[in-house]
């Protein structure tokens, strides 16, 4: 991977990676740290990267998921309360502003259901409806 390819990957995928980290960790600082770790690992492994059929976002989320698990094991962050719609304040330049109200409504419904689920089903829904990963990527990730 060349530097320009990495920069494009970073610019196009930072927001979904950060949002996922924030939702799992519940802390802006922890999410920033883990997102940084994700892209550092990608940069470090750029020469040894082998395409395993995953999309770039699924690859990044796999790294993020493992980094989050490591961080939670060390008890450095508290998972976000599913009723907190704080992630809506995170700007996402890839969406049309007219979609904001529809997104907010869908998110509220998802959060209501998330509160009732165990960890794995909650993560699947977060990956699909919040991180907007395709089903194929979610199945590869989990």
pLDDT of residue 97: 63
pLDDT of residue 60: 92
For the entire predicted model, the pTM comes to 0.64
Backbone angles phi, psi at 46, to 5 degrees: -60, -30
pLDDT of residue 90: 52
93-133 pLDDT, tens per residue? 565 666 667 777 876 776 777 778 888 888 887 888 777 78
pLDDT of residue 39: 96
* The pLDDT of residue 89 is above 60: no
pLDDT of residue 46: 80
pLDDT of residue 86: 54
DSSP notation for 16-57: HHHHHHHHHH--HHHHHHHHHHHHHHHHHTTTT----S--HH
| Residue 140 to residue 128: CA distance in whole angstroms | 13
Backbone angles phi, psi at 92, to 5 degrees: -130, 110
| Residue 98 to residue 121: CA distance in whole angstroms | 29
pLDDT of residue 98: 63
Average pLDDT (68-89) is 64
| Residue 52 to residue 58: CA distance in whole angstroms | 11
Helix (H) or strand (E) holding 87: none
24-77 pLDDT, tens per residue? 888 889 999 999 999 999 999 888 777 677 788 888 999 999 999 998 888 754
* Contacts (Cβ under 8 Å, ≥6 apart) of 131: 16, 19, 20, 57, 61
* Contacts (Cβ under 8 Å, ≥6 apart) of 57: 13, 16, 17, 131, 133, 137
Average pLDDT (84-91) is 53
pLDDT of residue 34: 95
């Amino acid at each position: 991977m060349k530097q320009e390819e990495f920069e494009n990957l970073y610019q196009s995928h930072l927001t979904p990676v950060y949002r996922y980290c924030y939702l799992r960790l519940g802390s802006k600082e922890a999410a920033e740290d883990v997102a940084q770790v994700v892209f550092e690992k990608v940069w470090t492994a750029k020469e040894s990267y082998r395409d395993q059929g995953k999309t770039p976002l699924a690859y990044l989320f796999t790294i993020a998921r493992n980094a989050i698990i490591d961080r939670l094991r060390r008890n450095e962050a508290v998972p976000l309360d599913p009723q907190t719609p704080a992630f809506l304040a995170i700007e996402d330049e890839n969406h049309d502003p007219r979609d904001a109200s529809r997104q907010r409504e869908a998110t509220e419904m998802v959060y209501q259901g998330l509160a009732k689920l165990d960890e794995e089903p909650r993560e699947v829904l977060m990956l699909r409806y919040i991180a907007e990963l395709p089903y194929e990527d979610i199945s590869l990730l989990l």
